[in-house]
Structure 1
């Protein structure tokens, strides 16, 4: 029954956005250009250097593509959590809590923006191109890894989003702090972790599992040893890490909701 409710909500959101086709198309293109802007930054860097953190341009673009598709999917499906501070301040979250439906599901389906598909399309185009033109010894496991890596990345990004936004239950104006973690993780995972100082690698690669979004899967696809000496099997561990991250995110969200005392507290 609940699934049908969510599908009805999503259907109404999609129909309302597609009814203004010109506006949707312009927003779609704007999202593509925004993603392309990040690509241009990488290309400009390689215009000045032949390697970045020990990686060639096509290797960095594989990481960029995986991270870009994963972040785009997460932004599409859970990006509405950015509105959580407003929902708390205005008391609208209290209304959601009264309904016999999942609070998290109600928040993330509240205003899904289809225009964000433009970001996914741009990153996916880059990923398909660079994978098809790179010298990769393809096998069935690697093909499966290439297909699932962006999806697993989306789960990791989504889990990071849920945990980061949960702090807004205690810090109502914590959107900027949450955005620093979510959007910062996207920027971090688009580059080899070798370009960052050791303390930042430890925090954003393992405390916040950003390295498992694109860096380690890219190493596995390229058959490259990790310059930092990490074992090769980490390239295949992202699904397990994503499962753990999703479980932790669910626990954090439930804890935050259960300890939420209302707008007037």
Structure 2
């Protein structure tokens, strides 16, 4: 973690060398989820509710998933751009260093401008929580924290899986965006508004439903959430990163050097 912290500091200092560019990028990132949220607002302004869900409830769902995505895209960006290291043969250098390749790839790139997305998401989260008549308890507070943490782990896990494919395909596959950008867009709404096959896939295969939908039922005291398991559902998202790391480890073992 000390090494990771040094990576973090070095990248932050380098990006702050061009402060105007950094602030403009951050400002632009602020408006990306803002425009999506505006579309969400006009949708509910027109229809009032979706499948029994009201605007402030979906706004909470929106805020959690976009916060998780912003944090993951900031700190796990190295895996998203990993294919470039394979193409250029730079991954060979990482293999001869006496540190974990996971830490080194994580530390190879940080996108601090993504904090603009985080500011928007936090603002929506605070506003949604203040607007909802939630009877807060310690367990509900922990559940909300686990929802965000779980989302970070799931998005980071998908980045790791996509990076692992580069060991065999060299170029990163755009199909991974179906599960990152597509998963984010789907999970900003409660999953029960979709077809059953889609909601089951994004619950039992890629557990986005354990980030938002199931624990949200518990926080909002919905009649369906009659078990403590709904509060603990985000733990499945945290566990999701374990098989992703195993796939990464398998890919590293089968990596063929460029020979350069």
TM-score band by shorter chain is over 0.9
State how far apart, in whole Å, the 2-side matches of 1:90 and 1:113 are.
21
Matched residue, 1:38: 36
State how far apart, in whole Å, the 2-side matches of 1:115 and 1:138 are.
33
- Measured after TM superposition, the shift of residue 139 of structure 1 is 1.4
Match among 47, 54, 57 for residue 56 of structure 1: 54
State how far apart, in whole Å, the 1-side matches of 2:178 and 2:258 are.
24
Is 1:178 the equivalent of 2:176?
yes
- Measured after TM superposition, the shift of residue 59 of structure 1 is 0.8
Matched residue, 2:257: 262
Does the 8 Å CA contact 1:167/1:178 hold for their aligned counterparts?
A: no
- Measured after TM superposition, the shift of residue 243 of structure 1 is 3.6
Does the 8 Å CA contact 1:149/1:213 hold for their aligned counterparts?
A: yes
Matched residue, 1:244: 239
Paired residue total: 259
State how far apart, in whole Å, the 1-side matches of 2:167 and 2:40 are.
37
TM-score by length of 2: 0.92
Does the 8 Å CA contact 1:162/1:249 hold for their aligned counterparts?
A: yes
State how far apart, in whole Å, the 2-side matches of 1:191 and 1:72 are.
17
- Measured after TM superposition, the shift of residue 149 of structure 1 is 2.2
Flag the 1:148–1:208 CA change in 2: closer, same or farther, 3 A.
closer
Matched residue, 2:139: 141
State how far apart, in whole Å, the 2-side matches of 1:53 and 1:81 are.
37
Structure 1: any 5+ residue segments left out of the alignment?
A: none
Matched residue, 2:97: 99
State how far apart, in whole Å, the 2-side matches of 1:54 and 1:263 are.
55
Match among 129, 132, 136 for residue 131 of structure 1: 129
What value does the CA root-mean-square deviation take over the aligned residues?
A: 1.8
Q: Which is further off, 159-168 or 214-223?
A: 159-168
Matched residue, 1:23: 21
TM-score by length of 1: 0.90
State how far apart, in whole Å, the 2-side matches of 1:85 and 1:259 are.
15
- Measured after TM superposition, the shift of residue 34 of structure 1 is 0.7
- Measured after TM superposition, the shift of residue 99 of structure 1 is 1.4
Query: What are the Cα deviations for residues 192-229 of structure 1, in whole angstroms up to 9, with x where unaligned?
Result: 11222122112222201111111122111101134xxx
Does the 8 Å CA contact 2:143/2:232 hold for their aligned counterparts?
A: no
SS of the aligned residue for 1:20 comes to helix
Matched residue, 1:157: 155
Does the 8 Å CA contact 1:152/1:238 hold for their aligned counterparts?
A: no
Match among 221, 224, 229 for residue 223 of structure 1: 221
Matched residue, 1:83: 81
Does the 8 Å CA contact 2:150/2:234 hold for their aligned counterparts?
A: yes
Structure 1 stretches of 4+ moved >4 Å: none
State how far apart, in whole Å, the 2-side matches of 1:214 and 1:253 are.
26
Does the 8 Å CA contact 2:61/2:189 hold for their aligned counterparts?
A: yes
Structure 2: any 5+ residue segments left out of the alignment?
A: none
State how far apart, in whole Å, the 1-side matches of 2:115 and 2:103 are.
20
Matched residue, 1:68: 66
Matched residue, 1:233: 228
